[in-house]
Amino acid sequence: MASLAPTADRPVSGAYRVDISRGRNIGRVSSEWFSRPDDEKFLSLTELYDSVRSRADRATTRVVESKSVRVEARSEDPERLSLIVPGDDRPVAPTNWSFGQLSSLVGAPASYLRTLPAALAGINLQHGLLSHRGEQVKMLQTEDGRTELRAVTGPDYGRIWDHELVGAVMKIAGDGVSDTRWKVPGVLDWSSMRYNPYVDVSLETTTLYASDRDVFLFLVDDTHPIEAGRLPNGDPDLYFRGFYCWNSEVGSKTLGMATFYLRAVCMNRNLWVRHGGAIN
């Protein structure tokens, strides 16, 4: 068996040939790439961190008695209900996500409430809050021109902030673009089957994402490929390291990370993972 060792301490100078037939396809990053609008894409970890950190700096959390929360219907849209929370002079506006969380927490199906007139939805939600067996709820609010309710959880919910994940990644990856080995991936050229790690980061190529519900990062060390024997034509058989990680400070998913060896990443961010490469 060929030894697995970096081809060189210095980065490769350009594109190199890969054989994706020796790997398997993973579409996890591609699904993120397809689904993210431009305002959820970032061109560096620094830019991403500043955005999610600013959001956290504007946020406050509080634990309140569920029966003390008042529901007001200010329009015909059940998702535009307002909450009056003790200690806050202004109404708190739930997001689509927190409306669903609040409904679920008090046992009122959000899908059903969304079909009702706002006043009737408010009555059902108010009843659920008054009879909530847990008695207390933890609220995550953000001030940005208005008071927005981003998350509603049980009082003991342990929150990992999105900026904490991004900051941890920055300790090894810098800005995720140019100042360390870890970077946004390059692109596979299908016509030549050569992988080019040197591609400008743009809204079309970036793999750094954040929304009001989550954060997702995908980085690789594709300028320092590892050689594992030879291809049939005599070229080195190369692959490189990569990882993606994710988090949701509003509770839509738990913190997670996957690591693997890759043979290539194409333009739409499909991954070809080396056979036997672990996804943890």
* pLDDT tens digits for range 93-137: 888 899 999 888 888 888 888 888 888 888 989 998 888 777 888
Residue 277 clears pLDDT 50, i.e. is over it: no
Q: According to the per-residue pLDDT averaged within each range, which of 74-83, 87-96, 150-159, 160-169 is highest?
A: 160-169
Q: According to the per-residue pLDDT averaged within each range, which of 21-25, 131-135, 179-183, 233-237 is highest?
A: 179-183
* Average pLDDT score over the chain: 88
Residue type at position 152: V
Residue type at position 166: V
Residues 254 and 257: their CA atoms lie apart, in Å, by: 10
Is the distance from CB of 219 to CB of 242 less than 8 angstroms?
A: yes
Is the distance from CB of 225 to CB of 233 less than 8 angstroms?
A: no
Q: Provide the whole-model pTM.
A: 0.88
Residue 243 clears pLDDT 70, i.e. is over it: yes
Q: Tokens 């919910």, residue?
A: 157
Is the distance from CB of 219 to CB of 173 less than 8 angstroms?
A: yes
Is the distance from CB of 76 to CB of 117 less than 8 angstroms?
A: yes
- Region 163-185 average pLDDT: 95
Residue 34 clears pLDDT 90, i.e. is over it: yes
Between 280 and 59, the more confident residue is 59
Q: Residue 213 is encoded by which pair of tokens?
A: 């519900």
- Region 196-225 average pLDDT: 96
Is the distance from CB of 49 to CB of 166 less than 8 angstroms?
A: yes
Is the distance from CB of 48 to CB of 166 less than 8 angstroms?
A: yes
Residue 189 clears pLDDT 50, i.e. is over it: yes
Residue 3 clears pLDDT 50, i.e. is over it: no
CA angle 247, 249, 252 (to 5 degrees): 70
Residues 152 and 137: their CA atoms lie apart, in Å, by: 7
Please count the residues of the chain: 280
Q: Residue 115 is encoded by which pair of tokens?
A: 């079909």
Cα 158 to Cα 29, 197, 260: the distances in Å are 27, 38, 28
- Region 217-236 average pLDDT: 91
Rg of the chain on CA atoms, in Å? 23
